[in-house]
Structure 1
């Protein structure tokens, strides 16, 4: 079957490997992969109908290469420059009428040309980890855009323009204090949005998103990072939400109590959002949840899980919780739990394992481990291994670990 596929791919010109020694292409070739040097590769194939170019291990990318690629290959549908040494996009990129996908992720590109507004068929624009800090106003013309990742500082005017992209499905923005108008109300107009990330520059940046009284109705994933006193009331309207990630400081209410009844929530990550000594999951809470991550709950001393809470949970990750010294009460009720991880809690978990109840209440869990940092690297041990370590040997080991950090 592999030989048949290779033969068919060669016959139909599906793809071709190009280097200095093999640079001439047949007119059938539509996709090329360039390895190492890019010298004169494109110049020798200007008449071909290339639609896709992939680059591997390219150390340098002269401006002339980018210009040639964009000016001479009019049928290009995909331009993926991720991780490449590219530093700019020429204005001619706007002439690629057929372009569906454009990514400058993890590059040194810092400006998008205004001609990008001519890419009327563009569906994906990925600017993640690039140096682009502003979006040109012409971006409002991209009516087919469905996926935009642009961690930029936005104000009301810019976000209002983005709200005209009614087909947008994924949006990530970074906001700063001092916006002259509330920038969030416009987001509710993005009716097809399924993924939304709003981040301040830090967990201390104030996010006042209560004005977004009507969130996108089909929202499935939500990430919030910043400072807010309470979760917005509209979060309870997210009937289709499947994944929530909160990195929030300043909360005065318990997010677990707020989110517990969301009917389709599958994945929840909370980062330092609980300041109580007791973490209590009650019967009926989180009926469909499969993954739960509780990060940096430094004040928690006791964790209680009632029978009937999180009945479908498969993956539970806790820590660091340096004050949690007891086995989570009721963990035996999580009958579908397959993975249990304690982060940065080596010492705490070792002594939990020595409790005579440990084996009885955890024997149904296939994989239990604990992570720790030693000499700047993250390591892990299974609890099965830790249970075999003698206390005297563990004390020596834990001193070595603590001294290395």
Structure 2
């Protein structure tokens, strides 16, 4: 895509309302993009763009700015002029974590009174105070770099329309103290990263919560024991939150759960699934579990399971496939897949492919890729 095309676009198509560059090879936006005064939607998702022109502040009709998986790390100061902006997203997702990356936002953004979605911005105590003024926010994601519990709790308590909340710290070792937060009654999604000894009591009172993601260090209790009773939970993501050798799902646990991601449980050697546990589960991702060598006991009880993924577990899945019970207990699952890395590149292989190989070819494959 030549630069001349972008220049022509912003010069000759002045009435354009939507610009969606997702997945395109562009590396910059022309400065004159600010002349597209009717622009409502701008997406540079998954591009190589690393900076936004200051003229962006002239797009007074812009409602959506999508920077997901781009290289943008800082928003121009002029962003505060976009009074009609409703959606601002800048983050990248990863195989293992809920969110990665964030952008720096400058003071003055509290003028964006129509903003409904703001994910993922880096904030300190000054920006927290500005956030309290954005009363229309429904989805908020922040990485807290310098703030205290009082500021954070006051901010969240004022945002009564929130249905999705993400709070990340700069590392999993920093203390995340949110016990005194009064979350919005209608909160549906919650993602947390940091260090805490115990889950806040108010999580168990979120009757409308459907998605939870926890990337927490320091927990002394298994969070699944307490989360399993949430009546409407549909999706659960846990990263490095289990430190025992056995992972046991008991009858009646997670009655409505459909998606379960259990990442980086380094100590787990055995997984047990009782009949009647997670009866509606459709997708299960586990791994890496370097000590897990046996097929999860009771996997055959998950009759609605459609996708089973073993993440970064090529060596471990080889032990399981060699077990005579493998075909019998997994035959009801349409897709069983393993991901693995080689020289930094990620590969995906179905276990059906493994089973199609002769014993000699199977061993050659493992020798090449492990």
Query: TM-score band (shorter)?
Result: 0.7 to 0.9
Q: TM-score, normalised by structure 1?
A: 0.77
Matched ranges for 1:238-387 at <5 A: 238-387=206-355
Change (3 A) 1:89 1:181: farther
| 1:140 alignment partner in structure 2 | 110
C-alpha contact 2:20 2:41 (8 A) present in aligned 1: no
Find the aligned partners of 1:131 and 1:244 in 2 and give their Cα distance.
20
Change (3 A) 1:244 1:49: same
C-alpha contact 2:10 2:36 (8 A) present in aligned 1: no
Matched ranges for 1:114-153 at <5 A: 116-128=79-91, 132-136=103-107, 138-152=108-122
Gaps of 5+ in 2: 93-100
Change (3 A) 1:397 1:161: same
Q: TM-score, normalised by structure 2?
A: 0.84
| 1:102 alignment partner in structure 2 | 65
Deviation string 1:64-112 (CA, Å, 9 cap, x unpaired) is x53x443x4433323445536474443x655544332234552557353
Q: CA deviation at 1:146?
A: 0.4
C-alpha contact 1:87 1:110 (8 A) present in aligned 2: yes
Partner secondary structure for residue 337 of structure 2 = strand
Deviation string 1:143-184 (CA, Å, 9 cap, x unpaired) is 2110112331x2334213212211101111111366485423
Change (3 A) 1:317 1:173: same
Gaps of 5+ in 1: 1-18, 20-33
Pairing partner for 2:76 from 112, 116, 123: 112
Change (3 A) 1:94 1:262: same
Find the aligned partners of 1:150 and 1:370 in 2 and give their Cα distance.
30
Find the aligned partners of 1:86 and 1:131 in 2 and give their Cα distance.
12
Bigger CA radius of gyration: 1
Find the aligned partners of 1:184 and 1:387 in 2 and give their Cα distance.
53
Find the aligned partners of 2:247 and 2:302 in 1 and give their Cα distance.
16
Partner secondary structure for residue 104 of structure 2 = coil
Find the aligned partners of 1:309 and 1:265 in 2 and give their Cα distance.
14
| 1:200 alignment partner in structure 2 | 169
Provide the alpha-carbon RMSD of the alignment: 3.0
Partner secondary structure for residue 256 of structure 1 = helix
Deviation string 1:203-227 (CA, Å, 9 cap, x unpaired) is 2222111121x21222222211122
Q: Which has the higher contact order (CA 8 A, sep 6+)?
A: 2
Change (3 A) 1:237 1:97: same
How many matched pairs? Answer: 358
Matched, 1:51 2:17: yes
| 1:37 alignment partner in structure 2 | 5
